[in-house]
């Protein structure tokens, strides 16, 4: 593998993407090089919608994931962003514990 070649995104990396990504990131997710991505955009054949923002191409992550066959993001089973304080803890018996 050459130093310039980057590996494809993992599922975990794909789920952590922001709302839009740049073309190199989208191309990496699709397993193609950036040059091929630009060529597909010019031909109108990129596999998902492409936004032109200033001088950059931005690809909405939801459409990118859908193009990859990923329809839904996983549901997290752990509290996110300090939501832990808002969720009552329970004993194994199911009774609430108030701190």
Q: Report pTM.
A: 0.64
pLDDT in tens, 34-85: 999 999 999 999 999 999 999 999 999 999 999 988 876 666 556 656 555 5
Q: By the 8 A CB rule, do 23 and 37 touch?
A: yes
pLDDT band at 90 (very low <50, low <70, confident <90, very high): very low
Domain limits, the chain: 7-73
Provide the H-helix boundaries in 1-99: 11-15, 23-30, 34-42, 61-67
Q: Are 28 and 17 in contact (CB under 8 A)?
A: no
d(CA 17, CA 39): 23
- 96 versus 77: which is more confidently predicted? 77
Cα angle 77-79-80, degrees, rounded to a multiple of 5 = 115
Please tell me which residue, 69 or 88, carries the higher pLDDT value. Answer: 69
Contact 13, 61 (CB under 8 A): no
């Amino acid at each position: 593998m050459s130093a310039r070649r980057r590996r494809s995104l993992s599922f975990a990396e794909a789920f952590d993407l922001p709302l839009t990504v740049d073309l190199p990131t989208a191309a990496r997710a699709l397993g193609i090089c950036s040059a091929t991505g630009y060529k597909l955009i010019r031909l109108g054949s990129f596999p998902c919608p492409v936004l032109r923002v200033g001088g950059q191409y931005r690809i909405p992550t939801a459409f990118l994931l859908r193009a990859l066959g990923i329809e839904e993001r996983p549901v997290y089973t752990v509290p996110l962003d300090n939501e832990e304080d808002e969720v009552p803890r329970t004993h194994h018996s199911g009774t609430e514990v108030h701190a």
